[in-house]
A and B are shown apart, each in its own frame.
Chain A
Amino acid sequence: MKLVVTIFGKDQVGIIAKVSTILADNNVNIVSVNQNIVDGFFNMVMMAEAMDNKVQLPEVQKLMKAKGEELNLDIKIQNAEIFTAMHRV
């Protein structure tokens, strides 16, 4: 399953490290990362892929949500199909 991770919020040390750890723990591989910081605000879009069919997306979402609350960031992880459906004919 292809996944998209989006993160927004105030920049701080270790955002990518902490989010990547959750992905790695759940056997999700990172395919590409696009990240920038504008006026102290962190923006990131990460393409990822679950390496087996056993990934429990709701579980990963829960972990990401908790991490987002802890770091005061907006973190989303979604099935990439919604984006391809909308933007590709």
Chain B
Amino acid sequence: MLTIDNILETNRMVTDHNLDVRTITMGISLRDCAHPNITQFCQNVYDKITTSAEFLVKTGEDIEAQYGIPIIHKRISVTPIAIAAEACKTDSFVPVAETLDRAAKEVGVNFIGGFSALVDKGFTHGDRVLINSIPQAMATTDVVCSSVNLGSTKAGINMDCVREMGEVIKRTAELTRDRDAIGCAKLVVFANAPSDNPFMAGAFHGVNEAEKVVSVGVSGPGVVKHALEELKGADFTEVAETIKKTAFKITRVGQLVAREASKRLGVPFGIIDLSLAPTPAVGDSVANVLEEMGIERCGAPGTTAALALLNDAVKKGGLMASSHVGGLSGAFIPVSEDQGMIEAVECGSLSIEKLEAMTCVCSVGLDMIAIEGDTSAATISGIIADEAAIGMINNKTTAVRVIPVPGKKVGDSVEFGGLLGRCPIVPIRNQWSSEAFIARGGRIPAPVRSLTN
């Protein structure tokens, strides 16, 4: 029997502490759309997406109303376009990106992911075409997200791609310079990318996935922070226990929504992504959770340990609450989307170097970080190589989503709007060059999996 306290606790989580289901993402395979003629391919893709996801947004809204839990995003992920469109005889996949954009707008989702290539070991022709198309595709579309997986624990790091992605990010920034390089906010570079991630910008529908699946990403840093507010001075055993219990509750809501969405859409349930995803709203910040543990400002010594505990406890609590867990599953630290992170950068407590250390213990990586527009492509590639190395060696997903905003310098700030938030330009303090290192190219070999010191 439910108690009054149970009911009030749940409703308070929603009204006072920003509990929400962050996204329902429908994964759709496009493998059966292949055609040598790109126009026909685009038609196949458009038809498949608009019929498969016709009721996705409506279903999400119905579930939202029925249970009284906000579901912020309804999204689509598709088979990496480098694979799906590989048969097309063309030298540009920009028309495919435009088709994805049209289809997504037709069904009313707010993002579609999968303008992607998986090149951790090497490039095919389709991968090359896709990567070359990214800057133009990001400039001419609004809701298409792109990702490139260029490293993995099994295959090592494709350093040719690392070099190219530095340049691709710069070109993307240049082509969207009139909108503060918003194109780069929709582009992420991965190592060990999961094939079932429902979160943007890195979502794609992996080739090992079913025809269609529904996955759910949960959220709730505000709820965790609130739970910790009542534990002033308690030891870490108690802190970890409380986070686990809270994560369990949050995830159960996600599981209920996923089950219901799967039933109503007639599409199998994929996974729950156990992530703490912040928003720029006050009180919905991962940085504030770390600060609640006793770090004066996010970035101060102890931050990495606090984040490690948080990340691990969220997984432990969430795992039991869901039948299938996957995706990125961990705490996100996107700077521009987290009010506490923004403030920590502004007051000089949080640097890109500390953020890199934090990515060793959490999902996902250097995320939504605006940097000076004249940062060289080689420096961006160097940052990507470092993150990919952390992912490769530690057998975890890492990512880089940096935005070199043309014309902006340290001291400026950039406004992306909505959930993408705003970001002060984060300084890269080390100004020495990575040019010769990045110019080498080739592959960093896969690491040994024993002798793990």
Contacts and interface: CB of A to CB of B under 8 A. Distances in A.
Interface string B4-28: 1011111100000000000000000
Q: Most A CB atoms within 10 A — which of B66, B255, B320?
A: B66
A61 interface: yes
Contact of A82 (B8, B68, B320): B68
A83 B6 contact: yes
Interface of B: 2-4, 6-11, 62, 65-69, 249, 252-253, 255-256, 320
B2 A80 contact: yes
A45 B67 contact: no
Q: Is the interface of B mostly helix, strand, loop or mixed?
A: helix
A79 interface: yes
Task: Report the contact-size class of chain A (Cβ under 8 Å from the partner).
Answer: 20 to 34
A45 B4 contact: yes
A34 interface: yes
Contact of A57 (B66, B252, B253, B256): B66
Contacts of B320: 89
A86 B65 CA distance: 17
A85 B252 contact: yes
Given A86-B10, A86-B249, A78 B67 contact: yes
Contact of B69 (A6, A45, A82): A82
Contacts of A34: 4
A37 to B, nearest CB: 15
Contacts of A82: 10, 67-69, 253, 256
Interface string A1-13: 0001010000000
B68 A78 contact: yes
Nearest to A80: B2
Contact of B65 (A4, A45, A61, A81): A61
A86 B2 CA distance: 10
17 contacts: A4-B2, A45-B7, A45-B8, A61-B65, A76-B11, A78-B66, A79-B66, A80-B2, A82-B67, A83-B6, A83-B7, A83-B10, A84-B2, A85-B252, A85-B256, A86-B252, A86-B253
